[in-house]
């Protein structure tokens, strides 16, 4: 990644997870586009975020428009909306880095791991979008409440970053670190099953132990 920060679109940026991630990116100095199913919702969310950020410029568009205008596209939608969203942006994301934060939760049993037939949401995205899109899976294990906070508390919210392209992973690692997270290369897109499955485990632990947004932490110090 160069010194010039890329423009990042957050599809589903009107939701808790997407809105929180957009907030942290804006604070870190990124140009952010809020994507939604309609222009009106995207623009309304962008105005609210701009006001919260002290007047910083935030754009709002429908998902295809946001995906077209951005250099990196992040999708933060429920699993039930993953494929419908992918279908609307497939052409717009060709040649780009596409970050999928989708978790295959199947209500009402969201505390039970239920991986899809395609292996994982990240694997589904890569298979559908094609080899010309560098799909990266990340951010499944960070609670929306931490992202929504004025000051993010990410000491125990490490991010596992998986994808088949090492440079694409590195770019996601870098912008995750820019917003205060510790992010780790975690291998190919097939390994996204681990982070996706962990989300159900963390939801269970949140309920069992009354934790306000459990996360994960990788121990040990890298020697590279």
Residue 134 — pLDDT band, cuts 50, 70, 90?
A: very high
2.40.33.20, 3.40.50.2300, 3.40.50.720, 1.10.287.3510: CATH of 7-209: 3.40.50.720
The H helix count followed by the E strand count for the chain is 8, 8
> What per-residue confidence (pLDDT) applies to 3?
58
> What per-residue confidence (pLDDT) applies to 224?
82
- Check: CB of residue 22 under 8 Å from CB of residue 61: no
User: What is the average per-residue pLDDT within 31-55?
Assistant: 97
Indicate the domain borders of the chain: 7-209
Percent of the chain with pLDDT over 70: 99
pTM, entire model? 0.96
Express each pLDDT in 61-117 by its tens digit: 999 999 999 999 999 999 999 999 999 999 999 999 999 999 999 999 999 999 999
Residue 8 pLDDT more than 70? yes
User: What is the average per-residue pLDDT within 149-171?
Assistant: 94
Residue 125 pLDDT more than 60? yes
Q: Is 131 exposed, middle or buried (0-12, 13-18, 19+ CB in 10 A)?
A: exposed
Residue 121 pLDDT more than 80? yes
Residue 152 pLDDT more than 80? no
State the alpha helices, DSSP H only, in 63-219: 63-69, 82-89, 121-129, 144-148, 166-178, 192-209
Residue 1 pLDDT more than 80? no
> Chain-wide mean pLDDT for the chain?
96
């Amino acid at each position: 990644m160069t010194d010039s920060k890329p423009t990042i679109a957050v599809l589903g940026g009107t939701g808790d997870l997407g809105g929180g991630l957009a907030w942290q990116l804006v604070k870190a100095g990124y140009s952010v586009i809020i994507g939604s199913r309609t222009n009106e919702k995207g623009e309304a969310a962008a105005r609210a975020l701009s006001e919260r950020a002290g007047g910083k410029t935030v754009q709002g568009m429908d998902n295809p428009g946001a995906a077209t205008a951005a250099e990196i596209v992040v999708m933060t939608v429920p699993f039930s909306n993953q494929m419908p969203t992918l279908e609307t942006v497939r052409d717009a994301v060709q040649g780009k880095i596409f970050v999928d934060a989708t978790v295959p939760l199947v209500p009402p049993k969201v505390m039970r791991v239920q991986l899809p037939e395609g292996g994982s949401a990240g694997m589904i995205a890569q298979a559908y979008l094609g080899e010309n899109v560098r799909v990266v899976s990340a951010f499944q294990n960070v609670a929306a409440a931490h992202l929504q906070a004025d000051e993010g508390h990410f000491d125990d919210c490490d991010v596992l970053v998986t994808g088949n392209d090492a440079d694409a992973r590195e770019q996601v690692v870098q912008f995750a670190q820019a917003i205060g997270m510790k992010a780790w290369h975690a291998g190919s897109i097939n390994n996204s099953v681990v982070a996706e499955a962990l989300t159900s485990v963390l939801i269970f632990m949140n309920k069992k132990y009354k934790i306000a947004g459990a996360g994960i932490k990788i121990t040990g110090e890298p020697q590279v």
